[in-house]
Amino acid sequence: MAFSLVGFGAGLAESITERIEEERKFSNLALQGRIERASVLKMQQEKEAKAIEEDLKGKLNSLKEFGVNDPELQKAYLSAPTALEALQKAKLSGLEVDPKALITVNKDKLFAGTPEEMIRAATRPTGTVKAATITPTEGGSMLAPSASMQQQRFQQIASMRGLTPEDVGRAEAGFTPQRPEVAASINFEVLKKEDKTTWKQKLERYETNYADAVQRFGADSPEAVKAKNAVDSYRVATSNMTEEQFDHAKKLSRANAIMFDKTMPNVTDQDRAWAKSYLDSYNEYKRKQEALGKPDEKIPAPGSLVSIARTAGANAVRNTFGTGVTRAQLAFVTNQDGSTSVQYSGDDPEMQKRIVRREQEGVVASLMRLEPTGRVTNKNIELALSAFGITLDEDRRPVLIDATPMPPARERPAVPPRTPSAAASAASAPSTPAPKPATTPEGFPPGSRIARNEFVAGKGFKVYNAEGKLIGYAQE
């Protein structure tokens, strides 16, 4: 019996030893697999970091070749690949572009060190990394190596592969090198090629388009009306604005639309950045001029604004009533100052009222393009509005005919109201009816009158002569 127990004990010991060796072997294989996987991930990280480093160094050299030697600008361009690409394309195409004007730098996001330090920082994985550890497996065999023994073995195997526990932890966590945070936006307006077409040439182009529209579609067609409006608008604008004022009006109108018109399509983040930058710059300019007691020189004088607004009002009327029967009762007159006036020869009070209202709407739409806040803050604009009988409400918004406040078309930031001063005398009176022609548009004798409140089905409106006798019917 004793002999049998000794044999059993020896066999059990041998079996346990084999099991321990097997558990240790399996543990080592698992550790090696884990470290092998971490090694591959680390190699991928290093490869990606090397590619980023070479790319940024190449871009830095390109910036120097393009004459960008300011470290702040270099870092800004390195952080914004699209901005650098835009600069490269502009330079290679022969377009003269100021690298500083091409971008707006966000200094809050700009890297604090040198461009070289920025490149080195970009090739290092970011984020807090915990060293890889061995966690005891729940339900593991009692014969398996302890967690401390596995941890020791894990560090030994990792060291043989040139890895630290931190390297393994970083690889397993998926940390990768990160490019610099974008700290610049593109000012796309700078990329536009200079238009060397003179104002006269552009006006001739508008006139040609109008002549073509008349020939193809007819003088009273919507196409011809639109083309004629373009001719008159451009003529009066270039006659009453300097080039700087003309350019400012276009940019300000576009910036306002980008920032406040939610229906404007295809607005990009770059567009919004440009618009905000332009409006901020203009507001700063106005503050400086006001502090110096100087006027806003980007806004034309009141007389010039009246000419521009008068034409805009006439264009609005022509665009709305420029076709059909009413068109024959409208006359569009070119004035000595290049502006266009509208005259109504009809005797319908309601139509007269609608025409004046539409004219005022055109006036307001034209002048309020120059007011970024949506409220009248410029004295010249206030005087020009008063020339058309347009007053301001308590919120300094235009009030049109019938004392109907002009509804805000866009959401705009509030500005403190100021006490309105007395408006200057009107530079020109609003449109008034022209004298009656010798004959009516329908061809009836002089003195005849269309009774627009007396309509007969199948015939039209009754027409009376000067003595009040019914002499026929007219189609309105």
Q: What pLDDT shows up at residue 253? A: 87
Beta partners for 473?
Answer: 462
Contacts of 177 (CB under 8 A, 6+ apart): 45, 48, 49, 52, 122, 123, 124, 125, 126
Classify residue 55 by its DSSP letter.
H
Cα dihedral 51→55→56→61 (10° resolution): 140
Beta partners for 450?
Answer: 463
Q: Report pLDDT digits (tens) over 296-320.
A: 999 999 999 999 999 999 999 998 8
Tell me how long the chain is.
476
Q: What pLDDT shows up at residue 383? A: 93
Our CA angle for 40, 41, 42, nearest 5°, is 90
Given a contact cutoff of 8 angstroms between Cβ atoms, the answer to whether 84 and 59 are in contact is: yes
**Distance of alpha carbon 446 from alpha carbon 142, whole angstroms:** 121
The two three-digit tokens of residue 293, written as one number: 């007691």
Residue showing tokens 């390109």:
62
Question: What single-letter amino acid sits at 105?
Answer: V
Q: What are phi and psi of 124, to 5 degrees?
A: -100, 135
Q: Report pLDDT digits (tens) over 46-105.
A: 777 788 888 888 888 888 888 888 999 898 988 888 888 888 877 776 677 888 888 888
Q: What pLDDT shows up at residue 451? A: 66
Contacts of 351 (CB under 8 A, 6+ apart): 326, 329, 344
Classify residue 179 by its DSSP letter.
P
Query: Which residue, among 59, 113, 67, 52, has the nearest Cα to 83 in the 3D structure?
Result: 59
pLDDT by 10-residue block (mean), the chain, 476 residues: 50 57 62 68 74 84 86 89 83 76 87 87 66 56 58 68 69 67 83 73 89 89 89 90 90 87 78 88 90 91 93 91 80 87 88 90 91 88 92 89 51 37 36 39 64 57 70 66
pTM: 0.48
Query: Which residue, among 374, 189, 376, has the nearest Cα to 273 in the 3D structure?
Result: 189
**Distance of alpha carbon 74 from alpha carbon 70, whole angstroms:** 6
For residue 21, CA distances in Å to 6, 25, 29 come to 23, 6, 12
Cα 46 to chain center, whole Å? 39
**Distance of alpha carbon 241 from alpha carbon 247, whole angstroms:** 9
**Distance of alpha carbon 393 from alpha carbon 372, whole angstroms:** 18
Classify residue 296 by its DSSP letter.
-
- 3-state SS, 47-61, equals HHHHHHHHHHHHHHH
**Distance of alpha carbon 55 from alpha carbon 59, whole angstroms:** 6
Q: What are phi and psi of 139, to 5 degrees?
A: 80, 15
Contacts of 308 (CB under 8 A, 6+ apart): 236, 237, 240, 241, 300, 339, 366, 367
**Distance of alpha carbon 91 from alpha carbon 81, whole angstroms:** 15
Q: What pLDDT shows up at residue 91? A: 74
Cα 168 to chain center, whole Å? 46
Q: What pLDDT shows up at residue 46? A: 72
Given a contact cutoff of 8 angstroms between Cβ atoms, the answer to whether 42 and 163 are in contact is: yes
One DSSP character per residue, 190-202 reads: GGSPP----HHHH
Q: What pLDDT shows up at residue 381? A: 93
